Structure 1
Amino acid sequence: MTGVRLAVGIVALEFAAAVTGFVASTLLPVVAADLGARSSLSLLIAGSSLGLFVALPLASRVLARLGPRGTLAAGMIAYLGGLFLAAMARTAWMFALGQFSAGLASGLLAVFGISSAIRHLDDRLRIRVVAASSAMWILPALVGPAATLGLEHLVGWRWTLLLPVPFVLLGRFLVVRAARGSGSLETPRPLLRTLTVPLGAACVVFSNGLWPLALAGAAITVFGMIAILPAGTARLRPGTPAALGAMVLFAIGYFGADSLITVLLTSGYQVSLGQAGIVLSAAPLGWAVTSLVAARFTTPRLPTAGLTLTALGTAAVAFGGSFPVALAAWTVAGIGVGLAYPGLYIRATTADGFTAAELATAVITAECVGQLLGRAVGGALGSSGTGLLTSYALFAAALTAAAIAARPAGSR
């Protein structure tokens, strides 16, 4: 029964993540214009990821000291405070600080929930949870951008930013309540080594055109990632390390492209914000629907095939130059993720010789490092007009590398 309650909580939390993602991406051009932050996109899009990653080494320590209920209370205070700070922001820095606090709150519970899922859910139920979680993006993908734009028109972007609050509160409450008997994580995260990742990403975010600082920040981030992920990840050693490496590259390419797509279409191709919102929905919708099928028919080669499709779709979005091409290409990209993600996720969280907490922190680290790098580098490059195309070329290259890394061990 604990497993079922936990599965329901994880699925509910994914629905909250979908609502949050669509609200943030749809409002990005409006927020950037209102705050005069078109040249500081990396500040607007990387704050939550920075906060989440700073929280990862702190999560086990907070849980050990406060317990699940205390951690939930602390997380809720940090989340609500951060979101209200972002909603009241008058500068890009204040908005980024609010997003950082909200991301910090998310990270406090992320490792606890996923490690509990690995302990309580067998592989068959876990892959169904992955598929059901992907399906939670269908409704937000269909109505999220339109509802966000309608609400923004009625009450402004600041009140609209608070739309995800009820869904986030419900999802986090369900996960913590279901997993409250699990105890704390087995081992604390290494504090200083883990913090090198957000430190490096912060250098990229705040480089403001200083390329030596941006390159140094990217190098620090990669060094920190190699230090905290399981041995062999950087070399793509067959098995779990290779799957984690593919997860990092996938997150760089897909989440980086997703975070900037409304800006690319509205400023690069003069598409209306409403049309950009339709394109924004295309990939998550394709991902969600395809995952429901792919979860039943996973094969070792499916992740490679899916990531190849995503790489092609991402490149076509950037260089297609029109709304119909962007819509078709981003749909294809989402279908590719739907084919690849269930099998890749199970491969990355199933291995002998690792504890549940180690697998949970490894897969969260892989995705978060990728998101952090993709959004930080993409935001830094995308602050100029031509830099958007450069960003998308980089994202497509990362997805191509992910497809190669995801190949079955015997074919590499």
Structure 2
Amino acid sequence: MSNRRLAVGIVALEFAAAVSTFVGSTLLPIVAADLGARDRLGLLIAGGTLGLFVAMPLAGTVLRGLGAGRTLAAGTAFYVGGLVVAATAQQAWAFALGRFTAGAAGGLLAVFGISAAIRRLDERLRLKVVAASSAMWILPAMVGPAATLALEHAAGWRWALLAPVPVVLAGRFLVVSAVRGEPPSGAGRDDGPDDGPGDGQRLRPVALLIPAGAAAVVLAGGVWPVAAVGALAAVAGTIALLPAGTARLRRGAPAALAAMTLFGAGYVGADSLVTVLLTDEYGVSLARAAAVLGAAPLAWGLTSLVVTRLAPERQVPAAGLALTAAATAVLAAGPREFAVALVAWALGGVGVGLAYPGLYLRATTGTSARAAQLATAVITAETVGGLLGQAGGGALASTSLTAAYGTFAVMLAAAALAATRSPRPR
């Protein structure tokens, strides 16, 4: 029963994340205009992910010291407080600070919950959780952008930004109640080296290279040498933090983790800016741009439901990622027509649906790694990729949205190549 509660909690949390994502992405053009921050898009979109990643090195220590209940209380307070700061911000830096605080609060529970899932859920149930989590994006994709715009029209973007709070809190309570009383993995023992920021054994300073480098990219303000140094620091931190062989695309889980990182950079970066691309470059209304925003995750969720009925080894992560790369390239250089963008981004979601379940399973399956290491590795890979995609894409978009989307397409194509080496060795 506790395993079922854990699975339901993880799925509910994914639904909460979907609601929050659609609200933030839908409101981005309005927030940027109201705060006079069209040239600081990276600052607006990367704050939450920066906070999440900064919190990950501290998650194990905090959970061991406070326990699940008190960690939930502290995380809840900081999450709500951060969103209130963002919703009342008058400058871009204050908005980013609020999102950073809310992201850090969410990061406190991320590693604990997912490592518990890897320890306690067998491979078949984990795959079902991944599929159900993907499906949780279907309803928000269908109604989230329109509902957000309706609420924004009625009450303003600041109240609309706070709308996801109840569903996010409900998801977090479910996860914590499922694992209440269980010590974090590794608490009170030492059964191997610490391979990531949330393992809980010791704090690895190298983990902070990633958010520090991403922050340098975001705050560079067009000073490209600073942005380049920040990007190099973030990449160096990523290579040092992920398991050995990831950068070399060693066959099996390391290659899958590399593909997950590149996927995060390409897809999350592209998805976070799609409403700005459509309103600025395509000249369409925000309502139409929001329809394109919802097309990819809707297609992703529906495709995943079909794909996960097949045996994991029959899935096609590389082909799926290649399709998403092609769709992103169409957004970058294709005809500036609403219908083209809608079809292309929907096909991009189909590609993710084909790729993600099998890729996630391959990245979290191993015979020698501990559950916490696997949890940390997959969270790190996807989160780092998304963080770099948002930070770098936001910086590029301030100069050229076409260049930003061209870069996202290249990242996704590289992910497809890495995924060809992701099947486990026989």
Shift of 1:11: 0.6
1:381 aligns with 2:396: yes
Distance 1:209 1:237, change over 3 A: same
Counterpart CA distance in 2 for 1:24 and 1:121 is 32
1:372 to 382, 387, 390: 387
> Equivalent residue for 1:210?
223
Shift of 1:317: 1.7
Q: Which amino acid aligns with 1:80?
A: V
Shift of 1:234: 0.6
Counterpart CA distance in 1 for 2:226 and 2:405 is 21
Shift of 1:318: 2.2
> Equivalent residue for 2:192?
none
**Would the aligned equivalents of 2:18 and 2:140 in 1 still touch at CA under 8 Å?**
yes
1:346 aligns with 2:361: yes
**Would the aligned equivalents of 2:43 and 2:92 in 1 still touch at CA under 8 Å?**
yes
Counterpart CA distance in 2 for 1:294 and 1:55 is 34
1:316 aligns with 2:337: no
Which digits, 9 at most, give the CA deviation of each residue in 1:149-200, with x for residues without a partner? 0000000000000011010000000001101232123242533111111000
> Equivalent residue for 2:344?
329
1:357 to 350, 364, 372: 372
Shift of 1:410: 7.8
**Would the aligned equivalents of 1:2 and 1:120 in 2 still touch at CA under 8 Å?**
no
- Any runs of at least 4 consecutive aligned residues in structure 1 with deviations exceeding 6 A, and if so which? none
Gaps of 5+ in 2: 187-198
Counterpart CA distance in 1 for 2:307 and 2:121 is 19
Alignment of 1:9-408 (within 5 A): 9-186=9-186, 187-188=199-200, 190-297=203-310, 298-299=312-313, 302-320=316-334, 321-384=336-399, 387-408=400-421
**Would the aligned equivalents of 2:23 and 2:161 in 1 still touch at CA under 8 Å?**
yes
Shift of 1:353: 1.1
Shift of 1:408: 4.0
Counterpart CA distance in 1 for 2:24 and 2:225 is 30
Q: Which amino acid aligns with 1:304?
A: A
Which digits, 9 at most, give the CA deviation of each residue in 1:26-56, with x for residues without a partner? 0000000000000110110000010000001
TM-score w.r.t. the length of structure 2 is: 0.95
Distance 1:255 1:342, change over 3 A: same
Gaps of 5+ in 1: none
Counterpart CA distance in 2 for 1:85 and 1:399 is 34
Aligned identity (percent) is 64
TM-score w.r.t. the length of structure 1 is: 0.98
More off after superposition, 300-309 vs 47-56: 300-309
Counterpart CA distance in 2 for 1:299 and 1:326 is 32
**Would the aligned equivalents of 2:362 and 2:423 in 1 still touch at CA under 8 Å?**
no
Shift of 1:301: 5.5
Aligned-residue CA RMSD (Å): 1.3
Counterpart CA distance in 2 for 1:123 and 1:109 is 22
Distance 1:322 1:359, change over 3 A: same
**Would the aligned equivalents of 1:288 and 1:338 in 2 still touch at CA under 8 Å?**
yes
**Would the aligned equivalents of 1:58 and 1:191 in 2 still touch at CA under 8 Å?**
no
**Would the aligned equivalents of 2:58 and 2:203 in 1 still touch at CA under 8 Å?**
no
**Would the aligned equivalents of 2:322 and 2:413 in 1 still touch at CA under 8 Å?**
yes
SS of aligned partner of 2:246: coil
Counterpart CA distance in 1 for 2:68 and 2:313 is 37
